[in-house]
Structure 1
């Protein structure tokens, strides 16, 4: 017999079953959904499309970032081990490793990605090039934005490299503008990409809709 001051300690089974105070809402349902997603990602029967695995992996990542499995302890460990050993995940990891080992230039990185099917390119974008952050944002809006940025980076890198050895390049009227762009902290912003492509004649200025702040970088607009 126990009393309020000296309650009987709960059994191990009861402790395991009791929800943790800091657990995510609907944890049991979330864990069941994780198991379902893992089954889709790891399916090797040929009955599940790559597109379905892609969607399942994106949903799993979103749930993880949103803290849907908080309080699950080690319960997720075997599930994530299963996902890590799937052919879908191994392919992503293999591509990531190859890209790192090759240490590609921006232009060659685009060629590398373009060597894959459009379906695989989107997977590479979502899980390697521009994965979603915890707040839902990502570095690049879409695959085309990434490719255009790589093109812009390549143009600036090539121009600045030539300017070191070729006086004619350094004397080019646009050298000062290119140098400003090269020195900017964020060279992945869409406005930066647009300015570079405009500067190198890839995008007519009439086609651009840039903010005054963006145009100030190359002197189009005088700061107040």
Structure 2
């Protein structure tokens, strides 16, 4: 079947793997031992006999186990481990709608969508307050245009090439701009510049070179210097 059954490291230790009749990983035995008799740490994987979904991960030591629950569409709905229980909910289109965690880190992550069903951001709640939230907007071509963080006045702004439509610029709220340059005919990425107003040199820049078949041949990294700090070649 070609399944990997063992892996040995330079120090002579390693791991071994065993599988069930469906070629699914059943037990992984690691180099680390769990007692003074040399018993290896063994992790066992159990699957639902009807759906084949992974339902539990257990260990032969004090490592906490993990259990998983799915709905009738085989979508993951609940994960329980030593930190608590995480519950996942979906909308009528089976798209992720929320993740609610109960236990050590009680929180709720809500996924937002616009009127066309596209992802439009998320909000992370912890306790009674909102820890973080984002808002995404799109241009007339359905491409991501802005991302705002915590209702900030200055969002991340995405710009696209007028001809090929590929991502060309990303403006940061702190006035930094990331600029992508591509070959005219092959659209291969040849440069990534980080620009900041008033800087003598680019805070960071990477140049790429390719051969006639479009394979990478060279990469140059600049860090606020006119000459490359690091050059890598491929042959």
Q: Do the structures match in fold with TM over 0.5?
A: no
- Relative to total residues, which structure has the larger strand share, 1 or 2? 2
Into which bin does the TM-score normalised by the smaller protein fall? Answer: under 0.3
State the TM-score, normalized to the length of structure 1.
0.27
State the TM-score, normalized to the length of structure 2.
0.26
- Relative to total residues, which structure has the larger helix share, 1 or 2? 1
